[in-house]
Amino acid sequence: MNKRPFLKSLIALSLATTLSLAQAQTTPIKFQLDWRFEGPAALFLVPVANNYFKDAKLDVTVDAGNGSGGAVTRVASGTYDLGFADLAALMEFHANNPDAPNKPVAIMMVYNNTPASVMALKKSGIKTPADLAGKKLGAPVFDAGRRAFPIFAKANNIGTVNWTAMDPPLRETMLVRGDVDAITGFTFTSLLNIEARGVKAEDVVVLQYPDYGVKLYGNAIIASPKILKENPEAVKAFLKAFTKGVKDVITDPAKAIETVKARDGIINNELEIRRLKLAIDTVINSPDARAEGFGQIKGPRLSLMSSQVSDAFNTKTRVNPDAIWNGSYLPTAKELDILPKPKK
């Protein structure tokens, strides 16, 4: 008997079996971003590129999004296992769909502060929130800053404003053209978009919500109840690998942008590096984030936000903070200790 073909077959069968077992032990996870492949997307693309998810036996697919509301509904529908969405959008979904069977839950806070702000050109004469009374403000109807503006207005005693709606690509253009007096948007998105339209940063007034008494949380990682119930260990492994990746992103934002460039070759590297650094400085490594700890929340602050969102969004039912958040899947405090101290 010729043993060589037999041994080759045996080896081939063994390799196939090993590969099959490895694939069986790898958990596929579909992840939905809140927005396009811009600077902040590196937070999720770096752990993919550095094989942190793979090392955790996870096969993670990251897809671009078109807004937090879409991310929430896609996770709720079961199309995606996990997602990245503004916490206010998640609260609104819960309160407006009390009987929905698969309401997503926030499991890790990433943007400890809302990135929302009001932006105006200095030549408009707008310097403080009070100056917005009677002015024409512009933003897409689903914009997080526009939705939360009643909270900002109440905190700063702002009189009535007039709203103009537009598609996202036109927001900054309409401000620069003078079609509106001010806009709402995420600071690290709109400010750089205004600059890209020929306006210098020093000629822009930025009224960031957290600087004016609005302590809303921003974007969190959300999960479907299905994956939390059926594969809690995979969820824990995801958050641990993600945290490791975030530390890399904070350490070297320029290198991190290479992962975004790999997904969208037409991005402007310099612009996206600035966008990512701005996000890190304003909402990820903010004073509030360092005080509460990366990934974590404070109960009283969450309860206050739940009440504010219920009022501002005029939801069908009141937001229940206990149904929104589940921090039991988070890594240890030591593993979450990734935020560098502020430079003096």
pLDDT, tens digit (0-9, with 9 covering 90-100), for 221-275: 999 999 999 999 999 999 999 999 999 999 999 999 999 999 999 999 999 999 9
CATH number assigned to the domain covering 27-112+217-336: 3.40.190.10
pLDDT bracket for residue 343 (50, 70, 90): confident
pLDDT at 314 over 50: yes
Q: What is the DSSP letter of 179?
A: S
DSSP string, 239-300: HHHHHHHHHHHHH-HHHHHHHHHHH-TTS-HHHHHHHHHHHIIIIIS-HHHHHH-TB---HH
* Helix orientation angle between 232-251 and 253-263, rounded to the nearest 10 degrees: 120
Where are any strands of DSSP class E within 127-200? 136-138, 162-164, 182-186
Q: What is the mean pLDDT of residues 191-207?
A: 95
**With respect to CATH, is domain 116-212 assigned 3.40.190.10?**
yes
Q: What is the DSSP letter of 112?
A: S
Lowest mean pLDDT among 21-25, 87-91, 263-267: 21-25
In angstroms, rounded to a whole number, what is the distance separating the alpha carbons of residues 252 and 47? 13
pLDDT at 279 over 80: yes
Please state, as a whole number, how many other Cβ atoms lie within 10 Å of the Cβ of residue 196: 12
- pLDDT of amino acid 67: 87
**pLDDT tens-digit series, residues 30-82:** 999 999 999 999 999 999 999 999 999 999 999 999 889 999 999 999 999 99
Q: What is the mean pLDDT of residues 84-95?
A: 97
pLDDT bracket for residue 23 (50, 70, 90): low
- Residue corresponding to tokens 């958050």: 239
**pLDDT tens-digit series, residues 93-135:** 999 999 999 999 999 999 999 999 999 999 999 999 999 999 9
Yes or no: say if 250 and 339 are a contact pair by the CB < 8 Å rule.
yes
The more confidently predicted of residues 102 and 25 is 102
Domains 27-112+217-336 and 116-212 share a fold: yes
- pLDDT of amino acid 58: 98
- pLDDT of amino acid 110: 98
Where are any strands of DSSP class E within the chain? 27-32, 58-63, 82-86, 105-109, 116-121, 136-138, 162-164, 182-186, 204-208, 219-223
- Give domain limits for the chain: 27-112+217-336, 116-212
**Phi, psi for 184 (deg, rounded to 5):** -110, 155
pLDDT bracket for residue 22 (50, 70, 90): very low
The more confidently predicted of residues 5 and 252 is 252
Q: What is the mean pLDDT of residues 173-197?
A: 96
